[in-house]
Amino acid sequence: MKVQQSSEDYLETILVLSKRLPVVRAVDIAEETNHKNSSISVAMKKLRTLGLITVTDAGFIYLTEVGAKIANNIYERHTLFTKWLIELGVNPATAEEDACRIEHVISEESFLAMKKHMTEFEEK
């Protein structure tokens, strides 16, 4: 399933927050992304409609299996590109920003080739 970049970013944010917090709420996402609660509400409704998240009556947000797959894919890309750019000498803050843009536009074929190359390089 192909989703918009903003949806991928929200899914990735939910994944990252779920690693740090016992539960993820809309307010946590708003704080993490510096977006207004109203914007988060609209985005969460869209993700719920797409079947990428579930929201409990208490307002706890969880990734569905499909949502988690997308989030993990984006997170893997983000961490790989951030690490690679930092190793190339890019300032960590810039590397984070650039990785966030690259992760959404690179093809799966190119990403897998780069991942393979980087893994082989690290093993040497």
- Beta strand 61-63 with 53-55 is antiparallel
pLDDT tens column, 22-52: 999 999 999 999 999 999 999 999 999 999 9
Q: How far apart are CA 74 and CA 100, in angstroms?
A: 9
- The model's confidence at residue 124, banded by pLDDT at 50, 70 and 90, is low
User: Tens digits of per-residue pLDDT, 62-121?
Assistant: 999 999 999 999 999 999 999 999 999 999 999 999 999 999 999 999 999 999 988 887
The domains found in the chain, sorted by start residue, are 5-69 (1.10.10.10), 72-123 (1.10.60)
Which residues neighbour 73 within 8 Å (Cβ) at sequence distance 6 or greater? none
Q: Which H or E run includes 100?
A: helix 92-105
